[in-house]
């Protein structure tokens, strides 16, 4: 059911922890699985220098957040905002369809942390224009996918 990469990132998640005095912190939740994901960013000159995360949730949520942190370290903010949950899932060699919403959470966590950074620094990013930090879950996705 799960790829080797998903199992690897679940058993040995990368970049777990917190960053003290992080430049951006984002937290998102998924009421369906009960997943909660918190992401910390260290940003310097528009480059994401370090990322740490804490995820309380299912294996897919942990694996996708771990993979997402690896995919945005060293990238510009614009590149990180371009990261989609599909790219994260593909990098993990796929997720079971029932677990795709957990990868949405990883994408949202990245955006939420950058949103926090943008707000603190009075910055505007095109990639955040459709992001609503108060949105509890991915309303625009098909809710029937799980049943
Ligand atoms: Zn989940």
The three-point CA angle 25-51-2 to 5° equals: 105
Count the helix, strand and coil residues of the chain and give each as a percent rounded to the nearest 5: 45, 20, 35
Residue 25 counted as domain residue = yes
Q: Give the separation between CA 21 and CA 128, rounded to whole angstroms.
A: 22
CA of 51 to the centre of ligand 1 (A): 21
The reply to whether 102 belongs to the active site is: yes
Residue 126 counted as domain residue = no
Residue 70 counted as domain residue = yes
The closest alpha carbon to 37, from 8, 68, 9, belongs to 68
Residue 137 counted as domain residue = no
Report the CATH number that the domain containing residue 25 is assigned in CATH. Answer: 3.90.1010.10
CA of 122 to the centre of ligand 1 (A): 33
Residue 130 counted as domain residue = no
pLDDT digits (tens, 9 = 90+) for 14-64: 999 999 999 999 999 988 788 999 999 999 999 999 999 999 999 999 999
- 78's CB contacts (< 8 A; 6+ apart) are 46, 125, 126, 127
pTM for this model (two decimals): 0.89
CA of 136 to the centre of ligand 1 (A): 14
CA of 80 to the centre of ligand 1 (A): 22
pLDDT digits (tens, 9 = 90+) for 66-120: 999 999 999 999 999 999 999 999 999 999 999 998 899 999 999 999 999 999 9
- Domain hosting residue 20, numbered range: 4-120
């Amino acid at each position: 059911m799960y790829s080797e990469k998903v199992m690897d990132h679940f058993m040995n998640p990368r970049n777990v922890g917190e960053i003290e005095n992080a430049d951006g912190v984002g937290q998102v939740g998924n009421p369906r699985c009960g997943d909660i994901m918190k992401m910390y960013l260290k940003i310097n000159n528009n480059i994401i220098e370090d990322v740490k995360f804490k995820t309380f949730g299912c294996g897919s949520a942990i694996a996708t957040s771990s993979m997402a942190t690896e995919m945005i370290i060293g990238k510009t903010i614009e590149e990180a905002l371009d990261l989609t949950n599909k790219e994260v899932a593909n990098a993990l060699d796929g997720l079971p369809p029932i677990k795709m919403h957990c990868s949405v959470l990883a994408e949202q966590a990245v955006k939420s942390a950058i949103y926090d950074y943008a707000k603190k620094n009075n910055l505007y990013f095109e990639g955040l224009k459709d992001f609503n930090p108060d949105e509890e879950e991915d309303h625009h996705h098909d809710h029937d996918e799980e049943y």
